[in-house]
Structure 1
Amino acid sequence: MSETDTPLFAHGLRAIDCMIDAKWRGGLHTSAIPAAYRDKDSSNYVHPAEYLFQGSPERIKEGETPDSLAETLERHGIDKAMLSIDPKDPAKVLDCLERYPTRFWAKLPIDPREGMEALRKMEYYARTYPLVRAIALTPMFYQLPPNDKVYYPVYAKAIELGLPVTVNVGIPGPRVPGECQNPLYLDEVMYFFPELTVVMAHGGEPWEDTCVKLMLKWPNLYYYTSAFAPKHYPKAVIDYANTRGADKVFYAGYYPAISLDRLQNEMANVPLRPHVWPKFLRENAIKVFKLGEI
């Protein structure tokens, strides 16, 4: 393939996608937190918020193999992508990392309520698999805000291991209470752990202005655009990226919940300034997740 034939993602650039929520061919795809639901629809969903994402059940049920996922990303002009390890069934993602070490890196979801077991898990994966480059926390799973004391050992261990932490913020799509994901709780976390790098995930709405204020305040706090189609990116975040936040905001999709075709097509209408696009689609992710080493 010649350079001119190389697929591009948007605005003349190849992208780095910081959230591919891969579902694997032959796997059983069920909602991540069925025990928390009280409505009958959610308990039967393939994706825990499939009412938000048209066509997601079909994409999820089809599933991927490491080869098919690598081919899909190449076809859409995506150089690298972050996958999420399932600690109960890590083999598929670890296989991807082994077979495509320049295409994929990974984050490790952690349940902070596991105490020392969680810290041992972090240590094991970080030391054994160098392509594990982040820890993922999802407060809605535990119904505990991220300034709760149960998280603090995880933050300290992440600093020790040199790993950024992604934290879901905003009202969850799944039908569980969302106050625990108010980004204001991160204010205390960033104060207490100034060496910690945190990336806010999943939009932050209806507190997107709070996300911006916090990024202005804390040097090591970032935001990526996971779980939002580009036409729904919060205006406050785009305005911030176009001004003082060019180095703080970057791209994450949410395939297969959101199709890559839609993400790619809608990106053309996102009103970022020309100098911001390379940072948004590539450079900020390279910096935060140390991808220059891959």
Structure 2
Amino acid sequence: MVFPAGVGVVDTLMGLPNKDRRWWATAMAGTLRDEDSRSGMTHPAGYMFKDLPDMERSATSADDLVAAMDAFGVDKALIPVSFEDEGTIAAVKQYPDRLLGSFQVDPSQGIVEGVRALRRAHEEAGIVAASFFPCGCTPPVPIDDRAAYPLYAACVELGLPVFVNAGIPGPRVPATAQDVMRFDQVCYDFPELTVVMRHGGEPWCDLAVKLMLKWPGLHWSSSAFAPKHYPRAIIDYANTRGADKILYAGYFPYGLTLDRIFSELPHVPLKAEVWPKFLRENALRVLGTA
């Protein structure tokens, strides 16, 4: 185990602090049923995290994020952007060499509208990726639902990878829409699509490894996992046949602090030759910025 210095990390999930910490509860109001989610928790999976970053959006949030990146050796970061939150798009335009935009698609809001919004984000905001939260839609839209297929097709046409939440979701909603087995059909139907599983894929990590072996376009990212909790199946895969398939994602400031992430990372038992791929090279290739 050799943790490299000066690799120039590419983080595939960072962002500005949310303007409204309860935005997720508003967006998912139609599916949430427990009282904590409806009125209490400020994080959709707050029961899973400790020492959540306590940050407010401000006029200097983009500057603060880049300064934090500099402090921890992060060269580039993929951040969520939205036309409803102009500050995110302004941040990407202010720091085009450091902050890369990702646009969330939601098939439940209308297929035609979703494709139009994705194309607009690509043309006007210069996004380099799409994201999709199946259990976060209202109603949920499974990974392999035909309602998502026009958006996958648009990603192929635009040359965009799509980051898809996989496994048991943090919010207290049913998980079936994010069953990892659903990627099998999507990868079969879209052989040119680059897909990155987001948020770990648990408890189906062994299956995730099998599917990554099978499908060239399928990848895994470490978002929402503190490094000491990276799944053993993923570490073993990275150290053997999967060095080109795993991408680093830190989840700051949404659930983890950079102090915690970078204090734990050196203890992850990856081989020396895997680290540069995990921390930088794979992300640059997937995002088309190499």
Given the alignment, which residue of 172, 179, 191 partners 1:175?
Answer: 172
Structure 2: distance between partners of 1:21 and 1:235: 27
Quote the residue 2:70 is aligned against.
74
Aligned: 1:28 with 2:20: yes
Quote the residue 2:12 is aligned against.
18
Matches within 5 A, 1:269-288: 269-288=267-286
Matches within 5 A, 1:16-165: 16-24=10-18, 27-34=19-26, 35=29, 36-43=31-38, 44-56=40-52, 59-61=54-56, 65-89=61-85, 91-113=86-108, 114-130=110-126, 132-142=127-137, 143-165=140-162
Quote the offset at 1:102 in angstroms: 0.7
Length, aligned pairs only: 278
Aligned to 1:146, the other structure's residue is in SS state coil
Aligned to 1:167, the other structure's residue is in SS state strand
Structure 2: distance between partners of 1:141 and 1:28: 17
Q: 4+ runs of 1 displaced by more than 3 Å?
A: 60-64
Quote the offset at 1:62 in angstroms: 6.7
TM-score, normalised with respect to structure 1 = 0.91
Percent identity, please. 44
Aligned partner letter, 2:211:
L
Give ranges in structure 2 of 5+ residues lacking alignment. none
Structure 2: distance between partners of 1:47 and 1:216: 34
Residue 132 of structure 2 contacts residue 165 of structure 2 at CA under 8 Å; is this kept in 1? yes
Quote the offset at 1:86 in angstroms: 2.9
Structure 1: distance between partners of 2:125 and 2:15: 19
Structure 2: distance between partners of 1:21 and 1:123: 21
Structure 2: distance between partners of 1:217 and 1:290: 22
Residue 130 of structure 2 contacts residue 160 of structure 2 at CA under 8 Å; is this kept in 1? yes
Quote the offset at 1:129 in angstroms: 2.4
TM-score, normalised with respect to structure 2 = 0.92
Structure 1: distance between partners of 2:111 and 2:157: 16
Residue 31 of structure 1 contacts residue 47 of structure 1 at CA under 8 Å; is this kept in 2? no
Residue 46 of structure 1 contacts residue 60 of structure 1 at CA under 8 Å; is this kept in 2? no
Quote the residue 1:255 is aligned against.
252
Aligned: 1:224 with 2:260: no
* Higher RCO structure (Cα 8 Å, ≥6 apart): 2
